[in-house]
Amino acid sequence: MTTPHRQFKDAIYEQFARLGKAISAPKRLELLDLLCQGPRTVEALAEQAAISVANASQHLQVLRAARLVDAEKKGLYVEYRLADDEVCRFFFALRGLAEARLAEVDQVTREYLEARGAMEAVEGDELMRRVKSGEVTVLDVRPPEEYRAGHIPGALSIPVGELKARLKELPKGREVVAYCRGPYCVMAVEAVELLRKKGFKAHRMEQGVVDWRARGWRVESEGAPQ
């Protein structure tokens, strides 16, 4: 016979399991990572996660049912955002746990970056020192809407797809440090490859805005510090 105590515990853990089920698909984790950068439409999420709009919509519905994301109709489009900042902290903690417990995370990352010659990266503390002393040009290569939602103070916004056409905006005699969405974002890797081919002294920073904010460092949004 099931006791009230057992019924209570089973019911509680069933609710906890809802979150585990919601994030059990790799693409849903990627969508959460993207939404940590800022709100966006289903179409934008589908393009950036390299899946169909229908598939993205299905994944987002699962996340919404677990109350991890919210949706709002804006004209002809539906815009998704994280339910609150706690969801991003949850994703950040999950990523950190995976990095600490799963050697495969480091192995996959190392193999990719070594193949691209991009293993070396400038740490956040070092970048902060260089930014404060005016030694480097800090380059945010994410889409403009992500830059507007929050960026590292003093960073110049040039999306990676526009970088080749806008190289003249970068002072050639200064070191460039590029960043994007975090350690597993490849846009900064691509940017550094291009910059080095064009004669710039360029480095990739592993930390993105989410990592920056998690350390308690100042982030700017729409010209206003956070």
Active-site residue list: 180
Parallel, antiparallel, or unpaired: how do β-strands 175-179 and 156-157 relate? unpaired
Residues 126, 131: Cα–Cα separation, whole Å: 9
The phi-psi region of residue 222 (left if phi > 0; otherwise alpha if psi is between -120 and 50; otherwise beta) is left
Q: Which residue has the tokens 């700017």?
A: 220
User: Token pair of 110, please?
Assistant: 């190392």
Of 153, 124, 123, which is closest to residue 140 (Cα–Cα)?
Answer: 153
Q: Which residues pair with 9 in a beta bridge?
A: none
